[in-house]
Amino acid sequence: MSTDSTNIITRFAPSPTGLLHLGHAYSALFSQTEASRQGGRFLLRIEDIDPGRCRAEFEDAIYDDLSWLGLEWETPVRRQSRHMDDYDNASRSLDKMGLLYPCFCTRKDIQAEIKNAQHAPHHNADGPDGPLYPGICRELSEDEREYRIQAGEVFALRLDMGKAICCLSGPLHWLDRDRGETLATPEIFGDVVLARKDTPTSYHLAVTVDDHLQGVTLVTRGEDLMPSTHVHRLLQELLEFDVPEYRHHGLLKGSDGRRLAKRDKSLTLKALREAGKSPDDVRKMAGL
């Protein structure tokens, strides 16, 4: 889909797993600026699919910090934890296409298999998230899968990447407004996990479904997430979703040259506010 600048929709999609820092402020302002300079709409989305790491107090702090910065967003805010049915529908569609399989491996099983394979002539490659899944459960028979599920074994759902790529009619691309037409190579992730038992979705699936359902036409996010776009582009194709355009912005670095992270307590928006900085100071610090 080509983006009509009059109805551009961007979004900022933080996870409430900690306080927002200067890097998040930059990302949120970047997204809002992209929407407003083209007369479009800016959305805020709370990515709270991981109950073990997300906390209500961090979500409240997101609203406080962003309002303090002067951002305005549409309500109601989409909170991913309330939309598990949408992700489940998407994963059922992929399952009907025969593209998902249950994986019963523990982290230990995977590490052991990778260690063994290191001695083999074609040993396992690394992907953006670490070593690729060596495919142990891909070859299980239907009977064994059924037996283990019935026995209550914990499993994740993985995408059979080889099969998924075979479904495509040709190479996939996306338009990155800074980098141009970009070839998608989702195979770099191997058989990526799309759902887990405790969280019936994954970052990749939830983001792709939400961007589609919310009509996002321009995805803006940090360049650290650029590898993920390869998988998202594949999911869009398999699920017959429209394709947004992308801007993957640079990341702010701390004085140590490393990119800002939740460990940089002095650069949280809360700390900056308490240290007497104004929203304008923060915009300047973010280089905006």
Which residues are at the interface with ligand GLU (CB under 6 A)?
13-15, 47, 207, 221, 225
Nearer to ligand GLU, 77 or 149 (CB): 77
Nearer to ligand GLU, 137 or 192 (CB): 192
The minimum distance between CB 89 and ligand GLU, in angstroms, equals 20
Shortest separation between residue 82's beta carbon and ligand GLU, angstroms: 16
CA 187 vs CA 17, 118, 227, 234: distances in Å = 29, 20, 11, 10
Q: How far is the CB of 18 from ligand GLU (least distance, A)?
A: 10
Q: Identify which of 222, 201, 209 has the alpha carbon closest to the alpha carbon of residue 159.
A: 201
CB of 23 to ligand GLU, least distance (A): 10
Q: Decide if 165 contacts 235 (C-beta within 8 A).
A: no
What is the smallest separation between the CB atom of 191 and ligand GLU, expressed in angstroms? 21
By beta-carbon proximity to ligand GLU, the closer residue of 21 and 134 is 21
Strand partners, 41: 9
Cα distances (angstroms) measured from residue 102 to each of 95, 96, 106, 203, 264:
10, 14, 12, 18, 38
Query: Token digits for 96?
Result: 């009907």
H/E element, 81: none
For the chain, the first-to-last Cα distance in angstroms comes to 30
Report the residue number, 155 or 203, with the smaller CB distance to ligand GLU: 203
